[in-house]
């Protein structure tokens, strides 16, 4: 069902996403040698942002569970990646109250300056019209981190200590 909906919405353009998400080619029944690696399009970034938004819309409308995208270390992201995240957040369907899409972006506050694309996004309140909450976490001690990992994985702390 998912493959049919993705093919229906993205059509022949799905191969552009399959270059970034190799398992997508398998899901859609595309052969790896059928994926075209043309980079001649001047609007490649805009096309990719559009396709990514449509892809997330299809997935979030297909499943009952919320689609969650978690990106860590956004302070290192380039401007094209930040633009793609912005587009995901600003797309009408995703930014709406009824969307089943949750984005969690993490960054190190002290490692962004005014030239950083993430900093520009965070400072541009007009751009971020999606509901957002800023949560600031300080450094966690070993015990707190072990407890968090333990509770997240539903395992005893002694089993998750090495992961903390």
To the nearest whole percent, how much of the chain has pLDDT over 90? 7
Q: Is 30 exposed, middle or buried (0-12, 13-18, 19+ CB in 10 A)?
A: middle
Q: What is the pLDDT of residue 98?
A: 59
Alpha-carbon gap, residue 93 to 54, rounded angstroms:
9
Q: What is the pLDDT of residue 119?
A: 77
pLDDT of residue 39 exceeding 80, the answer is: no
pLDDT of residue 157 exceeding 90, the answer is: yes
Q: What is the pLDDT of residue 137?
A: 78
User: Helix and strand tally (H, E) in the chain?
Assistant: 9, 2
Alpha-carbon gap, residue 151 to 164, rounded angstroms:
12
Q: Is 59 exposed, middle or buried (0-12, 13-18, 19+ CB in 10 A)?
A: middle
Q: What is the mean pLDDT of the chain?
A: 79
Q: What is the pLDDT of residue 3?
A: 86
Residues 6+ apart with CB under 8 A from 106: 70, 71, 72, 73, 74
pLDDT of residue 151 exceeding 70, the answer is: yes
Q: What is the pLDDT of residue 156?
A: 94
Mean pLDDT within 2-29:
84
Classified as helix, coil or strand, 67 is strand
Q: What is the pLDDT of residue 37?
A: 55
DSSP 116: S
Token duo for residue 1: 């069902």
Mean pLDDT within 106-119:
80
Mean pLDDT within 1-6:
84
**Under 8 Å between Cβ of 102 and 67:** yes
């Amino acid at each position: 069902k998912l493959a049919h909906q993705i093919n229906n919405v993205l059509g022949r353009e799905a191969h552009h996403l399959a270059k970034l998400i190799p398992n997508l080619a398998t899901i859609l029944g595309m052969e790896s040698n059928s994926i075209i690696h043309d980079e001649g399009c001047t609007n490649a970034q805009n096309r990719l942002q559009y396709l990514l938004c449509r892809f997330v819309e299809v997935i979030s409308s297909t499943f009952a569970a919320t689609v969650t995208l978690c990106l860590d270390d956004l302070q290192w992201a380039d401007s094209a990646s930040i633009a793609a995240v912005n587009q995901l957040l600003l797309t009408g369907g995703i930014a709406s109250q009824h969307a089943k899409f949750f984005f969690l972006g993490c960054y190190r506050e002290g490692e962004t300056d005014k030239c950083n694309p993430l900093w520009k996004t965070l400072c541009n309140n007009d751009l971020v019209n999606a509901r957002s909450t800023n949560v600031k976490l300080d450094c966690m001690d070993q015990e707190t981190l072990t407890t968090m990992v333990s509770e997240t994985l539903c395992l005893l702390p002694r089993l998750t200590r090495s992961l903390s």
